[in-house]
A = this chain, B = another copy of it.
């Protein structure tokens, strides 16, 4: 699995809570290899609380004295930056970057590097990187929380790696034949309950057709709607008899 080849590297992280939140983001997106470069002593309570069920990643983290040693075995190295300027104008968005990163992770180890919370990566840090990613953001506030930035990059990578299977609608789409049977039953029911008279029935049914055709109906949906109409019809007839 190529996501195993992706290392997240945090350079001089300041807040334990952020380190923990990065762990959780990694676990959510199928990553597990975390390296810290010259971190301050971590607030263990904060980091564990924010890691939540990703404490395993927090505990398995490795620490390195400098950035090059954390990257020693990595081929593609991607730095993240919220700023423009030297180096940074070559930045790609996470979405533009993800296909190249996923390809590189199939061939070897890759790193995704985030800077300290206060100032981000330095030019010296970025010089070691082969790629730079900049997350699209509103002009007024371009600097993301480090764990949120990590999540966006990991999310794009996770989608690109194709590990996600979307929830499946179990009920198949309703066919025209089934839909028309439903409308027949509704037509009869709406006449029986006195919602419309025969002369206006086609016109009124157009409205109902429009309402029920705004979304793509499934077989289950149609069965529910047929059940409602049948019940209304039944109730109206019993009423008439009663």
List chain A positions with a Cβ less than 8 A from chain B. Answer: 17, 21, 24-25, 27-30, 50, 52-54, 84, 88-93, 95-96, 134-138, 140-145, 147-148, 151-152, 155, 158-159, 163-164, 166-170
**Of B21, B96, B164, the contact of A148 (CB 8 Å cutoff):** B21
Interchain residue pairs with CB less than 8 A apart (24): A17-B17, A21-B145, A24-B141, A27-B141, A28-B138, A28-B142, A28-B144, A30-B140, A50-B145, A53-B141, A84-B167, A88-B167, A89-B170, A90-B167, A92-B166, A95-B159, A134-B167, A136-B158, A136-B159, A136-B164, A138-B158, A151-B151, A151-B152, A152-B155
User: How far apart sit A90 and B52, CA to CA, in the bound complex (Å)?
Assistant: 28
How many copies the complex holds: the figure is 2
- Chain B residue nearest in CB terms to A27: B141
Give chain B residues whose Cβ lies under 8 Å from the Cβ of A91. 167
* Bound Cα distance from A202 to B164, whole angstroms: 49
Cβ–Cβ contact B145 & A89, under 8 A:
no
In-complex Cβ contact of A168 among B89, B92, B159, B169 (8 A): B89
Residue of B nearest to A94 (CB): B155
Residues of B within 8 A of A29 (CB): 137-138
Question: Which of A54, A90, A145 counts the most B-chain CB atoms under 10 A from its CB?
Answer: A145
* A24 contacts across to B, CB distance below 8 A: 141, 144-145, 148
Chain B residues with CB under 8 Å of A92's CB are 166
**How many whole Å from A13's CB to the nearest CB in chain B?**
15
User: B residues within 8 A CB of A52?
Assistant: 145
Closest to A148 in B: B151
CB distance from A5 to the nearest CB of B (A): 15
* Nearest neighbor of A95 in chain B, beta-carbon distance: B159
Which residue of the partner chain B has the closest CB to A25? B148
